[in-house]
């Protein structure tokens, strides 16, 4: 007996992970933990009052039609560092768009550092990524997203495809930061433009929202001097843009900047240079 392939929906990777934390006995503790499908969350031991969460896509990458949803709820007074086990790979899409949606809520006097490792786009990949954050008036956020248009050391290049990145950051319900990025169709030609990436294939955005934005600016600007990038601070937030020739060159700049925005604390252990 044979089964016709026509009209059969390809198997898709789907996952949903949720972590909520509370302050108990002076330490950040689990309040809720939920994981479904390809989404897994692991909590390594820490040696201070904070919590580190490592999110994992057990599908090993994403392609058209796959979807991952992550949510983090940091209760009052908590501190959570969230990272990924490895770089997220977005493979060629034969049909559909891969979607990754992240929702973060940060309570009073709490802080979340959203520190995923780089997203690697392969040629003809299609990805729509969303980051939505709701901050209390006294909360702090550090958010980092880095992208590689192929791995230069592996001889990879992204000629065409689709990458959409949407950020919405709110404080007490008021929008304080919004941005939309779209690279589509002739990605290589678009990235080669001087006003876009100037031919660089690795880039990152870092955003800090909190009372230390002006103080951090003086620490960050010397770190990005001489590179393709810049830093600005206004209205209680600091934004850093970076671009580099490859992933290794980007990390050499990115890691010190992240550390400066973490008061000298290193990046999570799963990162390496």
Closest CA to 12 of 97, 70, 84: 97
Percentage of the chain beyond pLDDT 90 is 82
At 273 the pLDDT is 64
In sign, the C-alpha dihedral spanning 120, 256, 78, 216 is: negative
Mean pLDDT of all residues belonging to the chain: 93
CB 102 within 8 A of CB 137: no
Q: What pLDDT score does 272 carry?
A: 79
Residue keyed to tokens 């941005």: 179
Tens digits of per-residue pLDDT, 87-97?
999 999 988 99
pLDDT score recorded for residue 185: 81
| Residue 183 predicted with pLDDT over 80 | yes
H-run or E-run covering 218: helix 213-224
Q: Is 10 exposed, middle or buried (0-12, 13-18, 19+ CB in 10 A)?
A: exposed
pLDDT confidence tier of residue 28, bands split at 50, 70 and 90: very high
pLDDT at 82: 98
d(CA 157, CA 177): 31
Residue 150 pLDDT: 86
Q: What is the pLDDT of residues 236-273, one digit of tens each?
A: 999 999 999 999 999 999 999 999 999 999 999 999 76
- 67-104 pLDDT, tens digit per residue, is 999 999 999 999 999 999 999 999 999 889 999 999 99
Query: What whole-number distance in Å separates Cα of residue 85 and Cα of residue 52?
Result: 12
Higher pLDDT, 121 or 155: 121
Answer yes or no: are the C-beta atoms of 165 and 172 closer than 8 Å.
no
The predicted pLDDT at position 94 comes to 86
Cα–Cα distance between 89 and 62 in angstroms, integer?
Answer: 6
Exposed/middle/buried for 59, CB within 10 Å: 0-12, 13-18, 19+? Answer: middle
Given a cut of 60, is residue 10 above it in pLDDT? yes
Structure tokens at 164: 């959409």
For residue 125, what is the DSSP state?
Answer: B
Read off the pLDDT of each residue in 161-189 and give the average, rounded to a whole number: 94
Burial 147-186 (b: 16+ CB within 10 A, else e): bbbbbbeeeeebeebbbbbebbbebeeeebbeeeeebeee
CA distances from 227 to 19, 29, 60, 207 (A): 36, 40, 32, 18
pLDDT band at 4 (very low <50, low <70, confident <90, very high): very low
- Confidence at residue 3, expressed as pLDDT on a 0 to 100 scale: 46
Q: Report yes or no: 65 and 48 within 8 Å, Cβ to Cβ.
A: no
Grade residue 153 by pLDDT with cuts at 50, 70 and 90. Answer: confident
Ranges of beta strands (E only) in 75-139 are 79-84, 88-90, 98-106, 111-115, 119-121, 126-135
Inform me whether the pLDDT recorded for 2 exceeds 50.
no
Q: Average of pLDDT values for 149-159?
A: 84
- The C-alpha atoms of residue 145 and residue 157 are separated, in whole angstroms, by 20
pLDDT digit string, tens, across residues 199-250: 999 999 999 999 999 999 999 999 999 889 999 999 999 999 999 999 999 9
Pairing of strands 79-84, 88-90: unpaired
More confident residue, 158 or 35: 35
Which residue shows structure tokens 């008036």? 137
Say if residue 155's pLDDT is above 90. no
Does the structure show a pLDDT above 70 at 1?
no
């Amino acid at each position: 007996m044979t089964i016709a392939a026509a009209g059969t929906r390809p198997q898709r990777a789907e996952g949903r992970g949720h972590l909520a934390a509370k302050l108990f006995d002076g330490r950040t503790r689990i309040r809720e933990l939920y994981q479904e499908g390809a989404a897994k969350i692991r909590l390594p031991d820490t040696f201070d009052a904070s919590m580190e969460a490592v999110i994992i896509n057990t599908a090993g990458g994403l392609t058209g039609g796959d979807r991952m949803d992550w949510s983090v709820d940091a209760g009052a007074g908590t501190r959570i560092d969230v990272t990924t086990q490895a770089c997220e790979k977005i493979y060629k899409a034969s049909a559909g768009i891969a979607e990754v949606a992240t929702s973060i809520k940060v309570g009073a006097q709490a802080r979340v550092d959203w520190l995923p490792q780089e997203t690697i786009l392969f040629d003809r990949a299609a990805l729509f990524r969303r980051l939505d954050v709701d901050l209390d008036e006294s909360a702090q956020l550090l958010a980092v997203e880095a992208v590689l248009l192929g791995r230069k050391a592996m001889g990879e290049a992204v000629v065409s495809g689709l990458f959409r990145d949407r950020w919405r950051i709110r404080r007490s319900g008021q929008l304080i930061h919004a941005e939309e990025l779209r690279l589509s169709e002739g990605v290589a030609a678009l990235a080669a433009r001087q006003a876009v990436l100037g031919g660089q294939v690795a880039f990152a955005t870092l955003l800090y929202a909190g009372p230390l934005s002006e103080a951090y600016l003086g620490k960050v600007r010397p770190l990005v001097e001489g590179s393709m990038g810049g830093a600005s601070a206004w209205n209680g937030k600091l934004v850093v843009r970076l671009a580099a020739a490859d992933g290794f060159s980007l990390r050499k700049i990115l890691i010190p900047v992240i550390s400066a925005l973490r008061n000298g604390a290193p990046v999570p252990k799963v990162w390496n240079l």
